């Protein structure tokens, strides 16, 4: 876990020339989207009598369930099911994946928290438009923690880990589908702009990918504990 955390922290300062140019290009795309797409998409998804909101209702339903449950509970539930299934079925890969899910969500929460403070972007319901806010002030008020979307970032972090650990389409499609639904719901609810969701999703995906990389894999060892005063099972990662 320490190696993964160090890799994530060092990532911004270890970019190659091409990666730096790609980052600048991506930043330009985000700024362009902020100025041209955020406001009209927000208006259409907030128009309760419009066709866009009506047609996206079904797509956002899984995201509404996730929102009600909460991203942290969703992560704990996913990890718990994987860990329990790994123990019962003796699938060490499942147990390893459960640890990766918690690790990715923890890192994503920290990264998005810092990013929110740096951006201090006003949420859509505050008014003032996509560029409203006080960048660099680390305003911790809920009304100024719009960029990036933490719910979406954590959903994509979980999806990224599940998809890369399983490497099966029948895992990847529903995992990323649910994550996309979370992003849709965050826009429909008026809590985030389109670019908040896009940046959050990208961060979650990249962190999940870093945690699931071959260099971050570790072995899982099960050791029975049998003594006069203790009976149990030790799981070492």
Return the pLDDT at 217.
Answer: 47
pTM of the model: 0.84
Least Cα distance to 215 among 23, 8, 36 occurs for 8
Return the pLDDT at 24.
Answer: 76
Q: Which residues of the chain have pLDDT under 70?
A: 1-16, 19-20, 214-237
Exposed / middle / buried, residue 135 (Cβ in 10 Å: 0-12, 13-18, 19+):
middle
Return the pLDDT at 64.
Answer: 95
Return the pLDDT at 92.
Answer: 87
CA separation for the pair 66, 50 (Å, rounded): 25
Return the pLDDT at 214.
Answer: 64
DSSP of 158-182, one letter per residue?
HHHHHHHHH--HHHHHHHHHHHHHH
Return the pLDDT at 39.
Answer: 94
């Amino acid at each position: 876990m320490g190696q993964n955390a160090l890799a994530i922290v060092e990532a911004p300062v270890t970019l190659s020339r091409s990666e730096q140019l790609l980052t600048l290009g991506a930043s330009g795309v985000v700024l362009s989207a902020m100025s041209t797409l955020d406001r009209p998409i927000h208006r259409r998804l907030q128009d309760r009598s419009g066709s866009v909101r009506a047609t996206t209702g079904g797509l956002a339903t899984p995201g509404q369930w996730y929102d009600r449950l909460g991203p942290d509970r969703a992560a704990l539930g996913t990890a718990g099911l994987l860990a329990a299934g790994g123990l019962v079925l003796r699938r060490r890969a499942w147990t390893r994946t459960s640890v990766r899910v918690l690790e990715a969500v923890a890192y994503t929460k920290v990264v998005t928290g810092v990013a929110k403070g740096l951006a201090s972007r006003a949420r859509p319901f505050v008014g003032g438009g996509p560029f409203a806010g006080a960048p660099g002030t680390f305003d911790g008020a809920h009304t100024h923690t719009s960029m990036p979307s933490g719910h979406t970032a954590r959903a994509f972090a979980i999806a990224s880990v599940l998809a890369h650990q399983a490497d099966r389409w029948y895992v990847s499609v529903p995992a990323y589908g649910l994550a996309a639904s979370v992003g849709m719901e965050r826009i429909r609810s008026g809590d985030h702009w389109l670019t908040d969701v896009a940046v959050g999703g990208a961060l979650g995906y990249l962190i999940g990918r870093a945690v699931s990389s071959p260099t971050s894999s570790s072995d899982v060892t099960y050791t029975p504990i049998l003594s006069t005063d203790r009976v149990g099972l030790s799981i070492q990662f």
